[in-house]
Each structure stands twice: as structure tokens, then as C-alpha cells.
A and B are shown apart, each in its own frame.
Chain A
């Protein structure tokens, strides 16, 4: 997640949630559409800081008491205990975890035993739902056959490798340290361990040709992963890459080039049996059964509940969003003194919640129910006019709209933010 925290209200030291959170969770349970509960665990360590990365991550091994690589598992496990206490004290009914996701940073820089230990604590505190999805991100260089087997044995079901590119000069521009030939090995070990495999790719890196990108996608497909994520490179302010672009020593990304590459990825992936289900995500699902999707990420897009553990991690519970202290040492210090690690909180108002629903929903192949628009300030009149216009312009799927769902077409996916703005009336 981005390292810059949003502006919000201060969060209380005991982390207590407003009473309506519990009420909303209970209400949802009684309607037969319960809010699911997930856990995100942030691991803020990396071997190398990649030039494009603006995530909350650190290359030092020791960031202070409770914030070294060796003590981190204990610290973050402490937050899980704390979280359970906050939820109970706030009257939120206990729910088992549907999904768990370890992200970073590079979670696999921690010994597999540590990751398994944190998962064990989560299981103990919250419980795991039957068939729960448990994923870790991994750098192809930071796993071994043994570590992956250990993760699988400890309850992990899925691994997401940061492959990014199969082309050495592109990897070099991205500061990625792994060699392309390490990826097949890592994928093989993961398969041997019985883990589902996802590969993360980045397109539109300056200097990457369309052929380079084709090489990358084809290399990924040759490994037949269960899932592929493909992101256009975003130049973020405050990153090494961002300042190089600003100074003019590094070429900026070209949105037209990225559009071409997106279309190429869609074509190659579709031909190989992968279906898009979110702007940047494809699942191996030739028969369109909805399988192999990242259920954890789906929970985000479907506006479900999750607890985010670790420095800078964000949580969401029934319309209340809150986030932890960013620096691992500050984070650990708060936990050590019994203070909630959460430093900021916001409760978006009805208009903002509507915008969130629209912005998340139209990223998905399942789309957004048109009934969501009823809550717009004008009852959705303007948005319906825009839907008609966007069907005519080829941005929205007309048949789906007739069936009550707003789903972007391929062209619409590339202009998804424009769709959001028009649906939200600006």
C-alpha cells in the first residue's frame, strides 16, 4: 500500500469503534448477505528499495525495538490479539477469516516459520473459515522449495510472485534484483507444494517495447499460473523513479503506450483461457466458473470488512476506515505500551461512500448494480442518462446494463476513471 497516509480524524487510543459498526455488521448478518471478514498482514521489509515503489517498506534489518526482522512476527501477532480485543469491546460479532493476505514489502524475507506463526495466531484469535484463502506475496529470489512447502504445510494456499517482467533491461530499470530464469523454478516449487500461483507483471516501463511486453506476457503464460495481475507502471511522487522523471533524467511513462500494452495483454491472456475480473486482474478460468480469482482482493472491491495489521496498514469495518502508524518503530512502540497502533480514522459520508462503491464496482467484470445509483443525491437520474451515453460511446456493456449491471467494455476499462466521474456526476 502507498506509504503516505491519508488525512483523517485521530483514532482513539483504545481503538474502540463507533457503536454503529457493530450494528451494521449484525444487520448484514440478519439479511442473509453477511459482511465477510478478512485479514491483511503488512511485512515492511525488502532487500532492495525498487525505484518505482512507494509502499511502506524498509531495507534495514532492524528498525527499532519490536521492529526488526526477527522480532516482527511477535509484534504483529500482538496486534492480532489487540484487534480481537477491540472488536469484542466494540460489540462486533466474531467472524472467522474468509481470506488472509500477507503483503509488503517482501513477506518471504521473514522465515517461513514466522509467517506460519502469524497465521497460527490469526487462526487462534479469529478462526479461519472452511476453505479460507491464505496468500503471501513473494519475490522469486526469496523462496526455496523448502520454504514454500513449509508455508503450504502451515496453511498457506496461494503465493503471488512479483515477476514484473521477463526482460532483463526492463527489470534493471525497475531495480528488480531477480533474474528472469528464477521465476520458473519458484513457480515449480510452489506447484509442488500445492500452492495456487499468481504472477504480478508491470507494463509500460520506459524503454520497454511492445515486443518486450509480449515476451513478458508469453513467458508468464508459459508457466500456466492460476492468476495474473498486470499493472501499468505508475510514477509516484516521492519515489526515486518519480524524482528522476521530474529531473528529466528518466523518461516518463506514456499512457498511449500503456493502453496498447493493456490491449495486448488482454488479447494474449484471453486466448490462453484467462478472464479479466478486475481492471488489472485475470484468472485462469476457461469455462467462466469464477474460479482462481483472488478472493482477498475481491473482498476489497466488494466493500467487505478487513483488519489490516502491521505498520501503515489500513482497515475497513462497515464504513469506518482506519490506519496504523506508518513507521515500524512507532507502530511497535504503540503496541508495546498497550496503545492502539491505529493513528487515523475516517468515516466517509454518504456521498463519499457512494463514490467508493462506484469507483470499486465498475472495476469489476461483475460490475456495479444499477440500483446503487438510487442513493445518488438526485436519485440517479443524471447517472442513468450518462449510462445511456456511455453505452452509445462503447464504454459500457449495453446488455449488462439492461440486466441491471454496469460493466465496462474493453475500451471502458481503459477509461474507467472517466466512467466513475460520469456516474458520480462530475
Chain B
């Protein structure tokens, strides 16, 4: 058994041969954070009295949801057979919304711990990240966690993992992050099996950014993996994608609290502080080099983050618009993937069209806005990006149904996704039925074991951003796991359905949908609004229309009686107060044409509609 390191290797003066860079690939809830906590303790970098659960997950939301959004790197000393090593554990986001960030984290490592819940087996998202890791030629150390659970079936799942990565089931380590069993053996395996980093010690400095975090006090903290050369304090550095030059105010390693160092050398992982205030100036995937002696070639694999899902965000209280704008500006500092622009809605007033990596990203942003900035928000039903080609050949990118062009259209292209679903084999039929109903095309099916099967579909992205995951969970008694990635596009028979109140279009309810689903959307939305909008002095028709063609209609009958029949001496104060209350309520009314719609009606119509499908992912 290994003791703690005696002389921890010093940053900037560590032989790459004693460095081990690794990450942990795990499904949400399979115990990655607990295992990481245990490693911090075992290696002595966190004293037991300082320990708090999920130490590395900084934000409240992360800790509460048990998911890791922002990755971080921790340097831990470890001793094997008398030799001291420096282990860098790079924490990766566990969710598919953050696939790009995962890929950059993987690129910073030579090895990965594949962590699987011994009671649950491998899940689709884990499988996806495992494929990414294997494509990056990482050495995989398979581990079954939670072997202390009574329901653990280590033999069964060891066989499943062995089948997947081509190892012997006996090579699958068994640990318990909770009790600590097997954790030290795991650290030994990391040292023994994961290759040491290699790089050109004397070449121009090149370091890859794998994370970038905004800190209120320090500005942007950039996490890098040095590939070649070295970076030193006070040196001028250049971001190779933009050419922007900054001074290195501080450089160091996290252990796990930041400790300034004399620099970072080949193979090392650490942080940089330059004083910039916006994570966009320090983009994940970018290459940092020395301004004095710059490298010529960037490290490959950089991509600009691309929002896939769009939604309108509006303050419920219109006067909060400036607060929302400032809040988005602040969140943007810490989230390079967040894009937005102002938008105006007849129904909802002033707000923003916001682009997200996925639904989870949407929900996290929304929750942070509500929690950290005390905003009450309404979000419109999320949509994807469409490419619409008009008859004259003009191509229009539609991120908001209101941008869908009128008139003749040659074709509409919609983004597609490849999805992988892992379920017990008894649910194959249910899953296939769901996917076919969502216009999916089957791409393959493999048995992972006798009872578990992996099903692959090519499916319109728009069909899975709504309530797909909820439906999948309910049809499979919660057993299914889902992984998706965007995968090309297709021409589809799509139409825009508008909702009209007394002939006036209500922009917030316009939806781009497949022609076959247009009618059911129209019936559903008109029916819902009929229930939610109070009767007016006039009859109010609610229509769903494709262009000028009405496909569904409901009527709100005119109100016939709006008077309190009794009003005597003792009622006067009360009745006046009732009217005063109505006056207050009136401020929350939105006018659509001459129809008064309580904002609550918009909120109810929109919110019961789907957002929230992927929150189930942690279960």
C-alpha cells in the first residue's frame, strides 16, 4: 500500500516522467465527486477537517444537483515504491450539453478512469465519453464504484465493461468512494498504467486551455495543460486564436486551493491569471503561447462553442429587463457558450433570445438567473436552428419561429442528432415506438449483455429537446439512459404554426413543427389558452394557423355578468379595495390587440410545455 508522498514534486521543476494526467469518466450520480473527494483525502491535499462533500464542485447549483458543470484540475502528490509522483486529476463535466468541454478535458489527459456504478452498469452518456476518450488514445482504467451497496452486482457489470473495452473482467477495479475501499489501489494503478506526458521541453511554449472560469475577485482563471515549453510568471502570453496578448499576473497549480508557482513546465496542469474579465478572451480549446517566443502551430481540436437550442427569456416584471441584461452580461463572463440578443415579444414584452448548448444548459442558466439575480423569468418553448431556402434561393437561418419567412419556400433543413439509448431489453419495443413517433430512423442495435441493449437512432434534434427524455424515462420505468450528439441535418416538411387571438398573432406561441404534428399542436395550444384566458367583454376567437390557413379554433365566450350585486354601507371599503386590487392586477395584463391576457396565462401556457426534459438525466 502506498503512503502519501514524502517530497511532493515542485511545479515548474517536475520531470514529466513522474506526472500522470487523468480524468474520470462517469455518469451523473455514479459517484465521481465522492471518489474525487476521497482521492483528495488519501493524497493528503485536503485535511479531514477541511473536507466538504463534493469539494470540487464550486457552484451551489452544481453541489445541489450533484452534477459538475465546470471542470477543474487538482494536483495531488502520490508515492509508489518510494518514488514521488504528481497526479493531475482533471474533473470533466458529466453532461452531454458540455461535450465540447469534455473533449478538451480529455485532450489534456493521457488516461481516464472509467467509473461505473456497480449497481447500475454503464449508461449511454458514459459510453459516449468513453468513446471520446478511446478516440483520444487515452489509457482506460475501468473501475466499479459503490461496491458497498447491497444491490451491487460487480461480477455482472465487470463483465459488461470488459466486453466494451476489451479487457479481462478481473482487471476491473472495485472501489467504494464512500468507504474508501480500493481508492489507494486505484491511485497506484494510475501511476502504473497511465503514460507520462511527452512534449518538447525546449520548444516554444504551447498550452491548451481546457477550462476558463470567471472569479469575482481574480477575473478570469484559465486552466491549461502545458504541451511544449514552459510558462513563467510576469511573462507576456498570446492567445493564438485571437492574437490577444496579456501579462501573466499569476500562474500556479490547484491543490485544490490555488497555489502560485514559479511556472508550469511540459506535461503540467495548472491555472493562469491575466486580469482579463471575460471568458471569451480565454476560450476553451485555444492555445496559449509565449509572446516573446511564439509557437507557430496551434494545438488541434479548437472549435467555437455552438448553441444548439434557443429560447426567449423574459422578465415577468417588465421593469426587471435591465436587471436581466446585466445578469446575462455577468453570466457571459463565465460561460463562453452563452449567446443572446435582445428580442421583443408582443405577449411578453422585452427580453432576450438566448442560445444554449442544450436543455440542461438552458435550465442551469435560468436557475442561476433566478437564484443569483432574484429574477422571475418566463422562457418560451425551446427551438432549434432551421435553414430555410426561399423560392428565390435566399437562405435564411431561423433561430426564432418569428423569423420563419412568409411565402413560397423551397426547402427547410433541420438539425439532426444521433442518439444512443441503453435499456433493459424488455423495453426495446417501447423505445422503438417512441423514436419512430418522433421521426427517428434506426441506425443500429447491439446487445451489451443478455439483458441490456444499446439502440441507436438518427432523429431530428427538435424532437428530443422538448419532453423526449421524460417520455423515454416513463416508457422504460426510468431504466433508459440517453446520449445524443448533433449529427448533420435533413430536409423536412416543416411548417410554422401561429396562434392568433382575435386575429392578432401571439408571437410567443408560434412554433415550427413537422406538418404531421401541426394540427395536434394547434389543438393543444388553442385549448390550453381557452382555459387560461379569462372571458372578455367580447367573444375572443383563438385560432391556430399555418400561413392564412386556419387549422384549429376555439372561442372564449363574451363575459355576460361582471358586477357584484350587493354594495351597502359596510361593503364599500371592501369593494373599493377589491377594485384597487384589480387595478394592480391590470398592470400584469398584456394586451394582444384589444384582448387582455393575464401574464399568468402566458406563463402557464408556456411552462407546462416541456422545458425540463433533461433534468431527469441525473436520476
Contact = CB atoms under 8 A, between A and B. Distances in A.
B580 interface: yes
B561 A258 contact: yes
Contacts of A2: 570-571, 574
**Which of B567, B574, B580 has the most A CB atoms < 10 Å from its CB?**
B567
B306 interface: no
A416 B576 contact: no
Interface string A317-361: 000010100000000000000000000001010001001100110
Given A355-B579, A356-B576, A393-B537, A231 B565 contact: yes
A312 B565 CA distance: 21
B564 A356 contact: no
B562 A40 contact: no
Contacts of A6: 573-574, 577
Contacts of A426: 582-583, 586
Interface in B211-238: none
A259 B560 contact: yes
A280 interface: yes
Interface string A409-426: 000011111101100101
Contacts of A414: 560-563
A37 interface: no
Interface in A342-390: 346, 348, 352, 355-356, 359-360, 363
B569 interface: yes
Given A255-B560, A262-B561, A415-B561, A323 B570 contact: yes
B536 to A, nearest CB: 9
Question: Which of B561, B567, B582, B586 has the largest number of chain A CB atoms within 10 A?
Answer: B561
B574 A363 contact: no
Size bracket of the B interface: 20 to 34
B586 to A, nearest CB: 5
B418 to A, nearest CB: 49
B569 A421 contact: no
Contacts of B569: 1, 40, 300, 306, 308, 314, 316
Interface string A40-65: 10000000000000000000000000
B572 interface: yes
A232 interface: yes
Contacts of A355: 576, 579-580
B331 to A, nearest CB: 37
Interface core residue of A231, A300, A393 (most chain B CB under 10 Å)? A300
A279 B576 contact: no
A415 B537 contact: yes
B619 interface: no
Contact of B579 (A230, A232, A259, A424): A424
Contacts of A73: none
A152 interface: no
Nearest to B557: A256
A200 B341 CA distance: 62
Interface string A288-315: 0000000001001100001010001110
Given A255-B559, A259-B560, A1 B573 contact: no
Nearest to B578: A417
B262 interface: no
Given A280-B566, A413-B563, A414-B561, A8 B579 contact: no
Nearest to A312: B570
B7 interface: no
Q: Of B537, B557, B559, B573, which is in contact with the most chain A CB atoms at under 10 Å from its CB?
A: B573
A165 to B, nearest CB: 15
B583 A424 contact: yes
A234 interface: yes
A311 B206 CA distance: 86
Interface string B162-198: 0000000000000000000000000000000000000
A300 B574 CA distance: 14
Contact of A359 (B537, B568, B579): B579
Interface string B571-613: 1111111011011001000000000000000000000000000
Interface centre among B570, B573, B576 (most CB of A within 10 A): B570
A47 B320 CA distance: 55
A352 B580 contact: yes
Nearest to B566: A231
Nearest to B589: A426
Given A256-B560, A256-B561, A416-B563, A8 B573 contact: yes
Contacts of B567: 279, 300-301, 359-360, 363
Nearest to B575: A359
Contacts of B579: 355, 359, 417, 420-421, 424
A323 to B, nearest CB: 7
Interface string A269-285: 00000000001100000
Interface residues of A, number: 48
A259 B576 contact: no
Given A255-B559, A417-B579, A426-B586, A234 B564 contact: yes
A232 B561 contact: yes
A1, A262, A308, A323 interface centre (most CB from chain B within 10 Å) = A1
Given A234-B566, A418-B537, A314 B573 contact: yes
B575 to A, nearest CB: 6
Contact of A1 (B564, B571, B582, B583): B571
A259 B566 contact: no
A40 B574 CA distance: 18
Nearest to B570: A1
Contacts of A415: 537, 559-563
A309 B351 CA distance: 55
A321 B580 contact: no
Given A355-B580, A359-B579, A417 B572 contact: no
Contact of B572 (A40, A360, A413): A360
A337 to B, nearest CB: 25
Contacts of B564: 234, 417
A359 B576 contact: yes
Contact of B562 (A313, A352, A417): A417
A183 to B, nearest CB: 21
Contacts of A279: 563, 565, 567
Contacts of B586: 421, 426
Contacts of B559: 255, 415, 418
A234 B567 CA distance: 12
Contacts of A308: 569-570
A314 B563 contact: no
B454 to A, nearest CB: 48
Contact of B565 (A4, A234, A316, A421): A234
A255 B561 contact: yes
B572 A300 contact: yes
A232 B560 CA distance: 13
Contacts of B565: 230-232, 234, 279-280
A256 B579 CA distance: 22
A306 B568 CA distance: 12
B562 A348 contact: no
B138 to A, nearest CB: 61
Contacts of A316: 569, 572
A106 B455 CA distance: 76
Contacts of A323: 570, 573
Interface of A: 1-2, 4, 6-8, 40, 230-232, 234, 255-256, 258-259, 262, 279-280, 297, 300-301, 306, 308, 312-314, 316, 321, 323, 346, 348, 352, 355-356, 359-360, 363, 393, 413-418, 420-421, 424, 426
Given A300-B572, A323-B573, A356-B576, 18 more contacts: A1-B570, A1-B571, A2-B570, A231-B565, A259-B560, A259-B561, A280-B566, A300-B568, A306-B569, A312-B570, A352-B576, A355-B579, A360-B567, A413-B563, A414-B560, A417-B579, A418-B559, A426-B583
12 contacts: A7-B577, A234-B565, A279-B567, A300-B567, A313-B570, A321-B573, A352-B580, A359-B576, A414-B560, A417-B562, A417-B579, A426-B586
Task: Return the 4 tightest CB-CB contacts between A and B, nearest first.
Answer: A1-B570, A259-B560, A416-B563, A314-B570
